[in-house]
Amino acid sequence: MSGMQFSLFDIDRSATFEDQITVTGTFNGASVLPTLTNGPSNTVSGNVATGSAGAADNAATGTLTVTFTSPVDSVTIRYGSGPGAPANPSTQSMALHDITMCLPTTNLTMSKTSSVISDSISAANPKAIPNAIVRYCILVTNSGSGTATNVVATDNVPGNLSFISGSMRSGTSCANAATVEDDNNSGTDESDPIGMSQSGITVTGRTNSMSPNGTIALVFNARVN
């Protein structure tokens, strides 16, 4: 989720205790650090806030605001004593309040690349001449914070080329697309987890689900007329 923000109340210090808060987040297993905005009764260093002066339980001076400017799927708050606390500190307390967040969203982008992989003349430096084979890769990326469902991508084979039956492959990148896809739109290969099919000049790829930061690669070959 994106736009995560919340407040921690009563982060302060006295002669008998010193509050300290450490806040961390993760997204798809990667660390995400928040921005901490301190009140008059605490100080901030990176993602750690430490009580520096006394504050009444209901006073705004002890409020710490936590803001994540990047999406997170988990947040950890570690609450304890700071380095200035006595060896046997008195009872401490804080409160979590004003939690806001945005609903997860998807952001799908698609790119298409092509390369000539063979012709009838040069094996070392093939060109797009008649009978040459061109490999196309369509890469779909979900850069949003939510999971995309029922994703479908289509592409038309250029008019000066002919689709090569049996050439479709799928994967998570153009380089590793090695899963064989047949030309029709039925069978278990249509959801394993990527499916592809061809009808006339149109190549179609599909997947039931794309997680945040997920990619699918749709590869096929065509022959220059």
pTM, two decimal places: 0.69
| Cα 124 from Cα 118, distance rounded (Å) | 9
- Residue 180, class by beta-carbon neighbours within 10 Å (0-12 exposed, 13-18 middle, 19+ buried)? exposed
pLDDT reported for residue 2: 85
| Cα 76 from Cα 73, distance rounded (Å) | 10
Write out pLDDT tens, residues 85-115: 999 999 999 999 999 998 888 999 999 999 9
Residue 213 · residue 28 · CB < 8 Å: yes
Give the C-alpha distances (Å, rounded to integers) separating 141 from 53, 55, 108, 217, 221. 48, 48, 6, 9, 21
191 or 180, which is more confident: 180
When the pLDDT of each residue in the chain is averaged and rounded to a whole number, the result is: 94
Q: Assign 1 a pLDDT band (cuts: 50, 70, 90).
A: confident
What amino acid occupies position 206?
A: R
pLDDT reported for residue 177: 96
Residue 187 reports pLDDT greater than 90: no
Q: Where are the alpha helices (DSSP H) in 14-146?
A: none
**Mean local confidence (pLDDT), 174-199:** 92
| Cα 198 from Cα 154, distance rounded (Å) | 9
The pair of three-digit structure tokens given for residue 196, joined into one six-digit string: 């592809």
Side-by-side strand order, sheet with 148-156? 148-156, 202-210, 194-199
Write out pLDDT tens, residues 143-174: 988 899 999 999 999 999 999 999 999 999 99
188 or 224, which is more confident: 224
